[in-house]
């Protein structure tokens, strides 16, 4: 018998009681040089949920994440993050909000002139009012979360792709953000390393209850996340008991030709009649 | 049919579109420069980054600036001597070298050397940070890249170019002195005293205002091209080349304008 999945029970009560979504896109359109990338898309991310954003290369997945952080301004529509309409905010005001939102870029985007320690500590050092000992303690803490304490003094160029991705996760979570945005966190990694990253995201979802958008072009990663929970006793990800699908706060959003063609949970997805979708989930 | 396909594949940019893009670029450049300056008055001031950049620009460019200064002074003496001898006024050589170096050649050549070395360096460094999303990451982590990257580079370049120019001037005079005494038998002490005495306030002022302006141009143009890099590593290469070309060109153009302007201010001699 599987151990009682305590994380799931806690989860359920907190998701059902949560009211306002942490991220909401309303009729957002975005184009680059007369090419429309996003065409009036709307969706929302409830608190505590992890939403997998799926679409082929160039479908605008990364653009969605950059819009959600205010790194790009949409051509039309509104984007609410933690209740604030970020399309109306100036860059200085956004800096404050971004403290509550972490992002892991596609190619990790670590600062290559800084060591792992300095990369992870970047935000704390920039804030300037935290003691060196406190910074060191928190850097070690998040690096141990991603199991990379031994790389403190290395530089990004000395790390493997999977390690860089984990350092990027550590850098994003050091301020314990309420929202995490992952851009193709498993892209270009071997299956074993991918699983490690997926496990970290599941842990973030089930242990820290972080709401997140996870861009991926590998639907199977998202299915793994929908069918597993994080077991705190063994500190490992475990498969949900049979029949328990949909018990973890995991949803899917599928983009095609600038539109959202699917937004729902794993069960809805499995029963979808859309041929384009069926092709991907088979 | 084939010709039609070919034509439709070529992006035809109308003159008005072209002009619009150029005006937009100038606007973006002006905005970036203004923000870089405005950030001087906002906390935090990245002192450590400034010192690091100053070290990179100052110490890194020192040897080429000194060598350029020395040989320019020597070549100047050589060329002037040739002309002056014809008029039998070889003794004016120190004055000629001194005024030319301090007013014109010291500032411009130093600026061109630093532009070649550092405008390209800034464009490629910031450009690769752009294409690898490090600039986006910086903004995502709550730090203004203009404040963190551009402002320290502008301050460091202005500051270092000022002193590099003074050194280049001195080395130019020294190069002229070495050549004049060795080849034309000019008295060493006389060279230095006449070279020194000829300089008036206006010469020194002109010679020291220029490096401040040039330093600003080099750093802001370098950073601007870096910040507007796009299209992967190729784009970074393009930005780097453009930064050197544009900043060098701006240096010589602004040099002429400033020289003329200051002459008007002080009244032409
Ligand atoms: N800064 C930009 N300038 C011009 N085009 C861009 C820019 N960013 C993205 N695009 C274009 O927008 C489309 C969607 O990009 P992106 O969101 O990165 O797609 P995905 O992450 O789904 O692969 C692509 O066609 C890309 O070329
Ligand atoms: Mg992408």
Whether A122 and A94 map to the same domain: the answer is: no
Q: Report which of A215, A219, A227, A216 is spatially closest to residue A267, judged by C-alpha positions.
A: A227
Which one of A25, A30, A54, A60 would you pick to mutate in the ligand 1 pocket, going by the greatest count of ligand atoms within 8 A of its CB?
A60
Whether A66 and A105 map to the same domain: the answer is: no
What's the pLDDT score for residue B12? 66
d(CA A74, CA B140): 17
Distance A106 CA to ligand 2 centre (A): 7
What's the pLDDT score for residue A2? 42
Whether A193 and A169 map to the same domain: the answer is: no
C-beta of A37 in contact with ligand 1 (< 6 A): yes
Domain range enclosing A128: 101-176
Whether A130 and A236 map to the same domain: the answer is: no
For B137, the closest chain A residue by CA position comes to A109
What's the pLDDT score for residue A4? 43
Per-residue pLDDT of chain A (282 residues; tens, 9 = 90+): 344 445 444 444 444 445 689 999 999 999 998 899 999 999 999 999 999 999 999 999 999 999 999 999 999 999 999 999 999 999 889 998 999 999 999 999 999 999 999 999 999 998 888 999 999 999 999 999 898 999 999 999 999 999 999 999 999 999 999 999 999 999 888 888 899 999 999 999 999 999 999 999 888 899 999 999 999 999 889 998 877 656 789 999 999 999 999 999 888 888 888 888 888 776
Specify the number of domains making up chain A. 2
What's the pLDDT score for residue A156? 96
Residues in chain B predicted with pLDDT less than 50, given as ranges, are: 1-4, 7-9
Closest-lying ligand to the alpha carbon of A36?
1
Q: Report which of A151, A141, A152, A147 is spatially closest to residue A176, judged by C-alpha positions.
A: A141
A66 within some domain: yes
B210 within some domain: yes
* Interface predicted TM-score (ipTM) of this complex, two decimals: 0.88
Domain range enclosing B146: 46-260
Whether A95 and A208 map to the same domain: the answer is: yes
Partner-chain contact B142 A107, CB within 8 Å: no
What's the pLDDT score for residue A217? 83
Mutate to test the interface with A, among B53, B140, B153 (most CBs of A within 10 A): B140
Residue of minimum CA distance from atom 4 in ligand 1: A32
What's the pLDDT score for residue B87? 85
For A177, the closest chain B residue by CA position comes to B141
pLDDT in tens, B5-48: 554 445 667 888 889 989 999 999 999 999 999 988 887 889 99
Global model pTM greater than 0.80: yes
Whether A207 and A273 map to the same domain: the answer is: yes
End position of a domain, from candidates A154, A176, A198: A176
A228 within some domain: yes
Q: Which residues contact B150 (CB under 8 A, 6 or more apart)?
A: B32, B35, B36, B39, B126, B219, B220, B223, B227
Alpha helices in A149-270 (DSSP H): 161-173, 191-206, 219-227, 266-270
Three-class secondary structure assignment of chain B: CHHHHHHHHCCCCCHHHHHHHHHHHHHHHHHHHHHHHHHHHCCCCCHHHHHHHHHHHHHHHHHHHHHHHHHHHHHHHHHHHHHHHHCCCHHHHHHHHHHHHHHHHHHHHHHHHHHHHHHHHHHHHHHHHHHCCHHHHHHHCCCCHHHHHHHHHHHHHHHHHHHHHHHHHHHHHHHHHHHHHHHHCCCHHHHHHHHHHCCCHHHHHHHHHHHHHHHHHHHHHHHHHHHCCCCHHHHHHHHHHHHHHHHHHHHHHHHHHHHHHHHHHHCCC
What's the pLDDT score for residue A246? 61
Which structure tokens are listed for A276? Answer: 């384009």
What's the pLDDT score for residue B259? 94
End position of a domain, from candidates A176, A195, A210: A176
CB B54, CB B159: distance < 8 Å: yes
- Which CATH number do you get for residue A250? 3.40.50.300
C-beta of A61 in contact with ligand 1 (< 6 A): yes
End position of a domain, from candidates A109, A141, A176: A176
What's the pLDDT score for residue A271? 86
Specify the number of domains making up chain B. 1
Whether A223 and A265 map to the same domain: the answer is: yes
């Amino acid at each position: 018998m599987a151990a009682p999945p305590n994380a799931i029970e806690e989860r359920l009560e907190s998701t059902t009681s949560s009211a306002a979504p942490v991220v909401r896109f309303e009729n957002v359109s975005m184009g680059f040089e007369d090419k429309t990338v996003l065409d009036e898309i709307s969706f929302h991310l409830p608190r505590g949920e992890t939403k997998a954003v799926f679409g082929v290369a160039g479908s605008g997945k990364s653009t969605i994440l950059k819009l959600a952080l205010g790194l790009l301004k949409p051509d039309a529509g509104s984007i609410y993050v933690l209740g604030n309409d970020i399309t109306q905010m100036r860059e200085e005001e956004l800096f404050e909000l971004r403290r509550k939102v972490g992002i892991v870029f596609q190619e990790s985007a670590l600062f290559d002139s800084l060591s792992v320690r300095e990369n992870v500590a970047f935000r704390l050092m920039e804030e300037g009012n935290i003691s060196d000992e406190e910074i060191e303690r928190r850097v070690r803490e998040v690096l141990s979360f991603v199991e990379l304490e031994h790389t403190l003094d290395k530089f990004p160029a000395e790390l493997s792709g999977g390690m860089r991705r984990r350092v990027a996760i550590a850098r994003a979570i050091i301020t314990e953000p309420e929202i995490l945005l992952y851009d193709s966190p498993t892209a270009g990694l071997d299956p074993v390393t991918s699983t490690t990253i997926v496990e970290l995201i599941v842990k973030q979802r089930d242990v820290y209850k972080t709401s997140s958008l996870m861009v991926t072009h590998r639907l199977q990663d998202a299915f793994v996340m929908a069918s597993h929970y994080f077991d705190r006793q063994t500190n490992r990800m475990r498969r949900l008991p049979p029949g328990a699908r949909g018990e973890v706060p995991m949803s899917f959003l599928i983009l095609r030709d600038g539109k959202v063609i699917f937004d729902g949970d794993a069960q809805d997805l499995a029963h979808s009649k859309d041929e384009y979708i069926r092709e991907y989930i088979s | 049919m084939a010709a039609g396909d070919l034509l439709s594949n070529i992006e035809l940019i109308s003159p008005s579109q072209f002009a619009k893009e150029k005006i937009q670029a100038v606007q973006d450049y002006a905005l970036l420069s203004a923000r870089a300056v405005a950030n001087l008055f906002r906390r935090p001031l990245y002192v450590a980054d400034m010192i690091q950049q100053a070290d990179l620009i100052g110490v890194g460019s020192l040897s080429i600036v000194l060598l350029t200064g020395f040989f320019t002074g020597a070549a100047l003496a050589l060329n002037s001597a040739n002309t002056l001898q014809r008029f039998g006024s070889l003794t004016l050589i120190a004055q000629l070298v001194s005024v030319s170096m301090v007013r014109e050649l010291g500032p411009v050549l130093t600026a061109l050397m630093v532009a070649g070395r550092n405008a390209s360096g800034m464009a490629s460094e910031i450009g690769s940070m752009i294409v690898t999303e490090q600039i986006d990451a910086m903004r995502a982590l709550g730090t203004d890249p203009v404040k963190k990257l551009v402002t320290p580079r502008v301050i460091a370049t202005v500051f270092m170019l000022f002193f590099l120019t003074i050194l280049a001037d001195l080395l130019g005079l020294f190069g002229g002195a070495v050549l004049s005494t060795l080849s034309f038998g000019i008295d060493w002490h006389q060279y230095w005293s006449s070279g020194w005495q000829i300089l008036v306030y206006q010469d020194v002022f002109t010679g020291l205002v220029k490096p401040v302006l040039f330093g600003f141009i080099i750093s802001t143009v370098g950073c601007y091209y870096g910040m507007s890099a796009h299209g992967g590593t190729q784009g970074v290469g393009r930005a780097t080349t453009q930064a050197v070309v544009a900043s060098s060109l701006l240096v010589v153009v602004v040099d002429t304008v400033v020289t003329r302007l200051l002459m008007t201010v002080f009244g032409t001699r």
